[in-house]
Copies of this chain bind each other. A is one copy, B any other.
């Protein structure tokens, strides 16, 4: 019950993160190496992410389905780059029902291979295309270094898998899904992600192109927050998927896949959190308003609770997610800290004086201290609160955007990049290097190309690393 101090972000951001996810009750340690227990508060946050995405997927014609957890080992080997990328991370079932299995079963690290095996049966003609499938599932990748939500052995995600009659349609789908991820990140999670393309070195194992949304965490490191892959005909050829096109010719379809995981919970924590705890954007917050009744005796309690009941009713009717903190034996101050730790966007304090004045105190989580606290009339409370929540939502996006923009620097030579990587920040550079150049830069500075942003300034200049002519801007940063 004691509220211990949190390591400040400025002292050790990584330690801050590792403390905060547990203190805010998002998750718990698991007895299984690298796995995470997602506690109810963290799971509700994940449900908000799920609902926000699922709605967008369905609105664009995608359907959910479910494929087996286990993948025959032979399937994974069919696409050469794919198996190379995933082999070191696989968990393998060798015994089942008391017997050794003839063919070991891999616990899915991703489901391209098993889903393509079905697509082979489901696709015969161009009339069967596009085929737009999504799956909500758990996947397992045996990671050496794990971190709550950011990198865990088992994680929850959605994986979309689609097939198309033309390369143009596949490309349009790949882009559409990246736009959906960006729309969710920016407008619901208040994370000002940058959209772009991954380099050859950083793309998905088996993809032609990988697109990504990259977010800047509060320590200025990057977090890849969602990716969308144009798989070309790599998988359809490996899995012998064919269709008869409108001219009655046999073709391999073009496929895509795209995924976003519980990592998004980590992104929300590290984009918005501060030394007092989480700060959750209202649109995804499990609790949008916490109501703290304040009283010293039974008389005051009766007065205050009657007002609280009425206010709660009005807020619930307006579909605002509220929680009344009725815990006894705790001071209001203790409760304030507790809910600040959990990142509830708005706190409503109701005491006897407030009842007398027909007001409530509303304290914003996005603006600390007295500056964020207002006394407002009880009359019309639902509209007042909804307006404030909207303001908080856009303010949080603005704060994060300003932080991001203040930490992206134009860098014109390698020494500058090295300096920046020591200091912290993203480097915006003209780039014409090779995969080998990228590898050397990573080796020497820890920085990788996060993406080639879709938004390009145009024109050209010298590559910051090779000095060759470059017509493309790239973003380099250290990343999770």
Contacts and interface: CB of A to CB of B under 8 A. Distances in A.
Interface of A: 28, 30-32, 35-40, 43-44, 46-47, 63-72, 75, 87-98, 104-105, 107, 114, 117-118, 121-122, 133, 137-138, 140, 142, 144, 154, 156
Given A94-B94, A96-B92, A96-B142, A154 B69 contact: yes
A267 to B, nearest CB: 18
Contact of A28 (B35, B71, B90, B121): B121
B63 A43 contact: yes
Contact of A64 (B40, B97, B117): B40
A69 B140 contact: yes
Contacts of A118: 28, 37
B92 A88 contact: no
Nearest to A47: B64
Nearest to A29: B121
A64 B44 CA distance: 7
B64 A105 contact: no
Given A40-B64, A66-B37, A32 B72 contact: yes
Nearest to A36: B68
Contacts of A117: 31
B121 A93 contact: no
A327 to B, nearest CB: 9
A94 B95 contact: yes
A97 B89 CA distance: 5
A97 B43 contact: no
Nearest to A114: B31
Task: Name the residue in A39, A121, A133, A137 with the highest tally of chain B Cβ atoms < 10 Å from its Cβ.
Answer: A39
Given A66-B43, A96-B142, A72 B31 contact: yes
Contact of A70 (B37, B89, B122, B154): B154
A4 to B, nearest CB: 17
A144 B65 CA distance: 25
Contacts of A89: 97
A-B pairs, 9 with minimum CB distance: A97-B142, A40-B63, A35-B68, A38-B66, A91-B96, A92-B95, A96-B142, A32-B68, A94-B94
A82 to B, nearest CB: 17
B32 A97 contact: no
Contacts of A88: 97-98
A40 B133 contact: yes
A75 B43 contact: no
Task: Name the residue in A46, A68, A122 with the highest tally of chain B Cβ atoms < 10 Å from its Cβ.
Answer: A68
A69 to B, nearest CB: 5
Contacts of A96: 90-92, 142
A90 B95 CA distance: 8
Given A32-B72, A38-B67, A40-B65, 9 more contacts: A28-B118, A32-B71, A37-B68, A37-B118, A40-B64, A43-B66, A46-B66, A70-B154, A94-B94
A72 B65 CA distance: 30
B156 A37 contact: no
A399 B127 CA distance: 39
B66 A156 contact: yes
A461 to B, nearest CB: 43
Task: Name the residue in A63, A66, A92, A142 with the highest tally of chain B Cβ atoms < 10 Å from its Cβ.
Answer: A66
A68 B107 CA distance: 13
8 contacts: A30-B67, A31-B72, A35-B69, A40-B63, A68-B154, A69-B154, A92-B96, A93-B107
A241 to B, nearest CB: 14
A114 B105 CA distance: 23
Contacts of A37: 65-68, 118
Nearest to A97: B142
B98 A68 contact: no
A213 to B, nearest CB: 24
A111 B221 CA distance: 37
A92 B94 contact: yes
A177 B138 CA distance: 26
Contact of A65 (B31, B43, B93, B94): B43
